[in-house]
Amino acid sequence: MTPLLSVQGIRKTYGFRIGCTDVGFDLYPGEVMGIVGESGSGKSTLLSCLAGHLTPDQGSVVFDTRAEGPRDTVTMSEPERRMLGRTDWAFVHQNPRDGLRMSVSAGGNVGERLMAVGARHYGQIRETATDWLGRVEITEDRIDDRPRAFSGGMQQRLQIARNLVSGPRLVFMDEPTGGLDVSVQARLLDLLRGLVREMGLSALIVTHDLAVVRLLAHRLMVMKSGRVVETGLTDQVLDDPQHPYTQLLVSSVLQV
Protein backbone atom coordinates (compact mmCIF):
# COMPACT_ATOMS: atom_id res chain seq x y z
CA MET A 1 0.00 0.00 0.00
CA THR A 2 1.25 3.50 -0.85
CA PRO A 3 1.40 5.87 2.11
CA LEU A 4 -0.93 8.84 1.75
CA LEU A 5 1.76 11.07 3.19
CA SER A 6 5.44 10.21 3.36
CA VAL A 7 7.59 12.63 5.31
CA GLN A 8 11.36 12.52 5.30
CA GLY A 9 14.07 14.51 7.05
CA ILE A 10 12.04 17.64 7.75
CA ARG A 11 14.06 20.42 9.28
CA LYS A 12 13.09 23.99 9.99
CA THR A 13 15.21 26.47 11.87
CA TYR A 14 14.61 30.01 13.00
CA GLY A 15 18.07 31.49 12.85
CA PHE A 16 20.13 29.42 15.25
CA ARG A 17 17.09 28.02 16.99
CA ILE A 18 15.73 24.69 15.82
CA GLY A 19 12.01 24.59 15.09
CA CYS A 20 12.04 20.92 14.25
CA THR A 21 14.61 18.61 12.77
CA ASP A 22 15.03 15.13 11.36
CA VAL A 23 11.32 14.32 11.35
CA GLY A 24 10.11 11.49 9.17
CA PHE A 25 7.10 9.16 9.10
CA ASP A 26 4.58 7.51 6.80
CA LEU A 27 0.87 8.06 7.19
CA TYR A 28 -1.45 5.54 5.56
CA PRO A 29 -5.00 6.14 4.37
CA GLY A 30 -7.48 6.11 7.24
CA GLU A 31 -4.82 6.64 9.89
CA VAL A 32 -5.01 9.32 12.52
CA MET A 33 -1.70 10.32 14.03
CA GLY A 34 -1.33 12.47 17.11
CA ILE A 35 1.69 14.72 17.57
CA VAL A 36 2.21 15.54 21.24
CA GLY A 37 4.75 17.50 23.21
CA GLU A 38 4.94 20.55 25.41
CA SER A 39 4.72 24.13 24.16
CA GLY A 40 7.79 24.94 22.09
CA SER A 41 8.54 21.31 21.27
CA GLY A 42 8.21 22.08 17.57
CA LYS A 43 4.94 20.31 16.92
CA SER A 44 3.16 23.33 15.48
CA THR A 45 6.19 24.24 13.37
CA LEU A 46 6.18 20.71 12.02
CA LEU A 47 2.47 20.85 11.22
CA SER A 48 2.96 24.15 9.39
CA CYS A 49 5.80 22.65 7.35
CA LEU A 50 3.72 19.62 6.45
CA ALA A 51 0.65 21.68 5.53
CA GLY A 52 2.69 24.02 3.33
CA HIS A 53 2.23 27.10 5.52
CA LEU A 54 5.96 27.16 6.16
CA THR A 55 8.71 26.06 3.80
CA PRO A 56 11.02 23.57 5.52
CA ASP A 57 14.79 24.12 5.17
CA GLN A 58 15.26 20.47 4.35
CA GLY A 59 13.22 17.39 3.72
CA SER A 60 10.34 16.20 1.62
CA VAL A 61 6.61 15.88 2.18
CA VAL A 62 5.36 13.46 -0.43
CA PHE A 63 1.59 13.32 -0.84
CA ASP A 64 -0.18 10.65 -2.89
CA THR A 65 -2.19 12.93 -5.20
CA ARG A 66 -5.31 11.66 -6.93
CA ALA A 67 -4.20 12.60 -10.39
CA GLU A 68 -0.45 12.07 -10.47
CA GLY A 69 0.37 9.77 -7.56
CA PRO A 70 3.11 10.66 -5.05
CA ARG A 71 4.36 14.26 -5.36
CA ASP A 72 6.68 16.27 -3.15
CA THR A 73 4.56 19.15 -1.93
CA VAL A 74 7.62 21.13 -0.80
CA THR A 75 8.89 21.53 -4.36
CA MET A 76 5.45 21.69 -5.95
CA SER A 77 4.44 25.04 -7.45
CA GLU A 78 2.35 27.28 -5.24
CA PRO A 79 -0.81 27.07 -7.39
CA GLU A 80 -0.67 23.28 -7.16
CA ARG A 81 -0.13 23.40 -3.42
CA ARG A 82 -3.02 25.84 -3.01
CA MET A 83 -5.23 23.59 -5.09
CA LEU A 84 -4.39 20.73 -2.72
CA GLY A 85 -5.13 23.06 0.16
CA ARG A 86 -8.68 23.56 -0.99
CA THR A 87 -9.44 20.07 -2.26
CA ASP A 88 -7.61 17.10 -0.76
CA TRP A 89 -6.21 18.86 2.29
CA ALA A 90 -7.94 20.58 5.13
CA PHE A 91 -6.59 22.57 8.04
CA VAL A 92 -8.48 23.03 11.28
CA HIS A 93 -7.06 25.87 13.35
CA GLN A 94 -7.13 26.04 17.11
CA ASN A 95 -8.83 29.40 16.96
CA PRO A 96 -11.91 29.28 14.71
CA ARG A 97 -11.31 32.94 13.87
CA ASP A 98 -8.20 31.90 11.97
CA GLY A 99 -10.08 29.35 9.97
CA LEU A 100 -13.39 31.06 9.33
CA ARG A 101 -14.45 34.21 7.53
CA MET A 102 -16.15 35.98 10.38
CA SER A 103 -18.04 38.43 8.17
CA VAL A 104 -19.46 35.73 5.91
CA SER A 105 -22.55 33.66 6.78
CA ALA A 106 -22.23 30.04 7.91
CA GLY A 107 -23.51 28.87 4.54
CA GLY A 108 -21.02 31.05 2.68
CA ASN A 109 -18.19 29.75 4.86
CA VAL A 110 -19.06 26.16 4.04
CA GLY A 111 -19.68 26.94 0.38
CA GLU A 112 -16.39 28.74 -0.24
CA ARG A 113 -14.35 25.65 -1.01
CA LEU A 114 -17.02 24.42 -3.38
CA MET A 115 -17.03 27.73 -5.23
CA ALA A 116 -13.23 27.78 -5.25
CA VAL A 117 -13.20 24.61 -7.30
CA GLY A 118 -15.86 25.86 -9.67
CA ALA A 119 -19.30 25.18 -8.18
CA ARG A 120 -21.62 27.71 -9.82
CA HIS A 121 -25.07 26.54 -8.88
CA TYR A 122 -26.38 28.48 -5.90
CA GLY A 123 -29.11 25.98 -5.05
CA GLN A 124 -26.73 23.03 -5.03
CA ILE A 125 -24.10 24.89 -3.02
CA ARG A 126 -26.72 25.78 -0.44
CA GLU A 127 -28.04 22.26 -0.30
CA THR A 128 -24.56 20.87 0.31
CA ALA A 129 -23.90 23.53 2.94
CA THR A 130 -27.16 22.66 4.71
CA ASP A 131 -26.26 19.00 4.68
CA TRP A 132 -22.85 19.70 6.17
CA LEU A 133 -24.16 22.03 8.83
CA GLY A 134 -26.49 19.18 9.82
CA ARG A 135 -23.58 16.78 10.02
CA VAL A 136 -21.80 19.04 12.48
CA GLU A 137 -25.02 19.55 14.41
CA ILE A 138 -25.77 23.11 13.41
CA THR A 139 -29.45 23.56 12.62
CA GLU A 140 -30.55 24.71 9.20
CA ASP A 141 -32.06 27.95 10.51
CA ARG A 142 -28.56 29.20 11.40
CA ILE A 143 -27.26 28.95 7.83
CA ASP A 144 -27.47 32.69 7.18
CA ASP A 145 -26.05 33.74 10.53
CA ARG A 146 -22.50 34.94 10.79
CA PRO A 147 -20.02 32.96 12.89
CA ARG A 148 -19.63 35.73 15.41
CA ALA A 149 -23.17 34.95 16.55
CA PHE A 150 -22.08 31.36 17.33
CA SER A 151 -20.63 29.89 20.51
CA GLY A 152 -17.01 28.73 20.54
CA GLY A 153 -17.99 25.09 20.09
CA MET A 154 -20.31 25.91 17.21
CA GLN A 155 -17.61 27.99 15.53
CA GLN A 156 -15.23 25.08 15.76
CA ARG A 157 -17.82 22.71 14.29
CA LEU A 158 -18.49 25.20 11.52
CA GLN A 159 -14.78 25.32 10.81
CA ILE A 160 -14.76 21.55 10.51
CA ALA A 161 -17.73 21.58 8.12
CA ARG A 162 -16.07 24.28 6.03
CA ASN A 163 -12.97 22.13 5.77
CA LEU A 164 -14.54 18.76 5.14
CA VAL A 165 -17.13 19.85 2.57
CA SER A 166 -14.70 19.29 -0.29
CA GLY A 167 -14.16 15.67 0.78
CA PRO A 168 -10.48 16.00 1.71
CA ARG A 169 -8.33 12.95 2.28
CA LEU A 170 -5.93 14.51 4.78
CA VAL A 171 -6.83 16.84 7.63
CA PHE A 172 -4.31 18.82 9.64
CA MET A 173 -5.59 19.83 13.06
CA ASP A 174 -3.82 22.22 15.38
CA GLU A 175 -5.18 21.82 18.91
CA PRO A 176 -8.73 21.37 17.59
CA THR A 177 -10.27 21.17 21.06
CA GLY A 178 -8.08 23.81 22.71
CA GLY A 179 -9.99 26.67 24.24
CA LEU A 180 -13.23 24.72 24.50
CA ASP A 181 -14.77 23.64 27.78
CA VAL A 182 -14.75 19.96 28.61
CA SER A 183 -18.32 19.01 27.67
CA VAL A 184 -17.99 20.82 24.33
CA GLN A 185 -14.66 19.07 23.74
CA ALA A 186 -16.29 15.68 24.22
CA ARG A 187 -18.97 16.47 21.69
CA LEU A 188 -16.40 17.65 19.18
CA LEU A 189 -14.22 14.60 19.67
CA ASP A 190 -17.20 12.33 19.16
CA LEU A 191 -18.08 14.22 15.99
CA LEU A 192 -14.53 14.05 14.67
CA ARG A 193 -14.28 10.33 15.36
CA GLY A 194 -17.48 9.67 13.44
CA LEU A 195 -16.37 11.79 10.48
CA VAL A 196 -12.94 10.22 10.37
CA ARG A 197 -14.50 6.78 10.19
CA GLU A 198 -17.29 7.60 7.76
CA MET A 199 -15.07 9.50 5.34
CA GLY A 200 -12.01 7.30 5.76
CA LEU A 201 -10.01 10.42 6.58
CA SER A 202 -6.39 10.50 7.48
CA ALA A 203 -5.48 13.12 10.02
CA LEU A 204 -2.55 14.69 11.81
CA ILE A 205 -3.55 16.14 15.15
CA VAL A 206 -1.24 18.39 17.09
CA THR A 207 -2.18 18.66 20.73
CA HIS A 208 -0.79 18.68 24.22
CA ASP A 209 -3.89 16.96 25.55
CA LEU A 210 -3.15 13.25 25.97
CA ALA A 211 -6.83 12.45 26.56
CA VAL A 212 -7.61 13.83 23.09
CA VAL A 213 -5.05 11.64 21.37
CA ARG A 214 -6.10 8.57 23.30
CA LEU A 215 -9.60 8.95 21.95
CA LEU A 216 -8.81 10.13 18.43
CA ALA A 217 -5.37 9.00 17.34
CA HIS A 218 -4.31 5.57 16.22
CA ARG A 219 -0.66 6.42 16.41
CA LEU A 220 1.40 8.85 18.37
CA MET A 221 4.55 10.82 17.81
CA VAL A 222 6.14 12.45 20.85
CA MET A 223 8.27 15.54 20.27
CA LYS A 224 10.76 17.31 22.47
CA SER A 225 13.04 20.21 21.55
CA GLY A 226 12.21 19.87 17.87
CA ARG A 227 12.94 16.16 17.67
CA VAL A 228 10.80 13.07 17.64
CA VAL A 229 11.67 11.07 20.75
CA GLU A 230 9.14 8.26 20.51
CA THR A 231 6.54 6.88 18.14
CA GLY A 232 4.13 3.98 18.26
CA LEU A 233 0.59 2.87 18.80
CA THR A 234 -1.25 5.43 20.89
CA ASP A 235 -2.17 3.15 23.77
CA GLN A 236 1.23 1.51 23.75
CA VAL A 237 3.07 4.85 23.96
CA LEU A 238 0.78 6.09 26.70
CA ASP A 239 0.69 2.86 28.73
CA ASP A 240 4.25 1.63 28.19
CA PRO A 241 6.30 4.74 27.38
CA GLN A 242 9.94 4.03 26.64
CA HIS A 243 11.61 7.42 26.43
CA PRO A 244 12.34 9.37 29.63
CA TYR A 245 10.49 12.40 28.32
CA THR A 246 7.38 10.41 27.38
CA GLN A 247 7.39 8.79 30.81
CA LEU A 248 7.54 12.23 32.38
CA LEU A 249 4.77 13.50 30.09
CA VAL A 250 2.47 10.59 30.85
CA SER A 251 3.11 10.66 34.58
CA SER A 252 2.45 14.40 34.67
CA VAL A 253 -1.18 14.02 33.65
CA LEU A 254 -3.60 14.41 36.50
CA GLN A 255 -5.77 11.37 36.94
CA VAL A 256 -9.46 12.14 37.11
Q: How far is CA 65 from CA 51, 89, 253, in A?
A: 14, 10, 39
Do the Cβ atoms of 177 and 189 come closer than 8 Å?
yes
Which of residues 144, 152, 181, 253 is near another protein by CB under 8 A? 144
Instruction: Kindly tell me which of 11 and 146 has the beta carbon lying closer to another protein.
Output: 146
* Nearest distance in Å: CB 228, another protein: 14
In the structure, how many helices (H) and strands (E) does the chain have?
10, 10
Do the Cβ atoms of 66 and 252 come closer than 8 Å?
no
Which of residues 28, 53, 135, 225 is near another protein by CB under 8 A? 28
* Nearest distance in Å: CB 214, another protein: 8
Instruction: Kindly tell me which of 11 and 232 has the beta carbon lying closer to another protein.
Output: 232
Q: Is 123 in the site for another protein (CB under 8 A)?
A: yes
Using DSSP's 3-state secondary structure scheme, residue 55 falls into coil
Which of residues 13, 60, 87, 236 is near another protein by CB under 8 A? 236
Instruction: Kindly tell me which of 31 and 174 has the beta carbon lying closer to another protein.
Output: 31
Please, which residues have CB within 8 angstroms of residue 41's CB and are 6 or more apart in sequence? 223, 224, 225, 226
Which of residues 11, 126, 135, 227 is near another protein by CB under 8 A? 126
Q: Is 82 in the site for another protein (CB under 8 A)?
A: yes
What is the C-alpha to C-alpha distance for residues 73 and 71, in angstroms, rounded to an integer?
Answer: 6
Q: Is 193 in the site for another protein (CB under 8 A)?
A: yes
As a residue count, the chain comes to 256
Across the chain, which distance is largest between two alpha carbons, in Å? 57
DSSP secondary structure code for residue 142 in this structure: G
Interface with another protein (CB under 8 A), residue total 50
Q: Is 86 in the site for another protein (CB under 8 A)?
A: yes
Please, which residues have CB within 8 angstroms of residue 79's CB and are 6 or more apart in sequence? none
Of 41-49, 88-96, 104-112, 167-175: span binding another protein (CB under 8 A): 104-112
Please, which residues have CB within 8 angstroms of residue 245's CB and are 6 or more apart in sequence? 222, 224, 229, 230
Please, which residues have CB within 8 angstroms of residue 149's CB and are 6 or more apart in sequence? none
Of 57-65, 78-86, 130-138, 173-181: span binding another protein (CB under 8 A): 78-86
Which of residues 54, 76, 104, 199 is near another protein by CB under 8 A? 104
* Nearest distance in Å: CB 193, another protein: 6
User: Under the rule (CB under 8 A), what is the footprint of another protein?
Assistant: 28, 31, 78-79, 82, 86, 101, 103-105, 107-108, 111-113, 115-117, 120-123, 125-126, 143-144, 183, 186-187, 189-190, 193, 197, 214-215, 218-219, 231-233, 235-236, 239-240, 242-244, 247-248, 251
